[in-house]
Amino acid sequence: MKELPNSYYEIWEEFIEGKSEEAKLMQQIDKFEMLLQAYEYAAIYGKEKLEEFFEEEKNIEHPFLVSLIKEMKNIL
């Protein structure tokens, strides 16, 4: 990562450390996307071996993402 220009490294560091509200939101979206993939895989292959991904749901706190999860559960 150090070979990237400083501005890219700083943005990456901001994201990883959750230094801003935007970074925190992106972390939540990243967790949501992983959970969405887990639901898609579970629909095809079953929930076995996916529990650690479903556990991430408890770490998603953004109200909009929580509402999307509820909708997703209703559909699937």
pLDDT value at 62 more than 90: yes
List pLDDT tens digits, range 15-47: 999 999 999 999 999 999 999 999 899 989 888
How far CA 32 is from CA of 5, 8, 11, 15, 61, in Å, comes to 29, 24, 21, 16, 10
CA neighbor of 33 nearest in space, from 62, 2, 12, 4 = 62
pLDDT at 2: 61
Longest dimension (CA), the chain: 45
